[in-house]
Structure 1
């Protein structure tokens, strides 16, 4: 089974929000490479839920992919911050999917701790300049991160 890491700003959707909701739509991905990774996901795949753009970024827990991808409705909504004027109902280049809660970690695994782990040196998240919001995680990297909880 492939593993993933997905970033969300906690004021938009946090791991605790997902725990409370049980299931939520993951939308607003506006990078083609991240979108392609999203389109590669299968129902049941697990992902690390990463809190980004906040005072202490890091991995907050685990989620599970709960649906197949579908056209991202936020691209068509002029009121959405993710609106894309070039998108239409016939040609929507953006995708969304549903995710569900799996586990919240007792403490956040902060980005500096992730960067300090030699087994994660090749993880895109710890590479300087990497800003992808969705990325694959190799099984050995997944195990290394789990050992940090």
Structure 2
């Protein structure tokens, strides 16, 4: 594991200086999920949720969240987001309905977009919960995790998915 870099000489938190880092294209893909009931699944897919089109609102919320990451996570640098894309898929089994959320974020800069992708996927999931909680407060969010990242000094990362 690499050395932690977010502490100053006094052991207090600091924002890392990235001014000397090379500008490169960087991408990150994060995933999250929302486990829900058949009733909620039916209402989402039939556009019967009273607050509106759940997946469209969650998509916009996830995009907005990626752009606001530095405002809610203290040591994140504000970075120029070049692109955000969010995909939704369904995993349906016997009495199991899971909304799968994938958030891809891209920049050209001197720091990565892993936190932006994770924030995007998380907020998309939370938005689904918010829009559907009147139907079922028992939905479960997660897991949320980084699938891959490219670019930068530390190189690429690709999670082994099972």
Please report the TM-score for the alignment, with normalisation by the length of structure 1. Answer: 0.28
More relative contact order, 1 or 2 (CA 8 Å, 6+ apart): 2
Highest CA radius of gyration, 1 or 2?
2
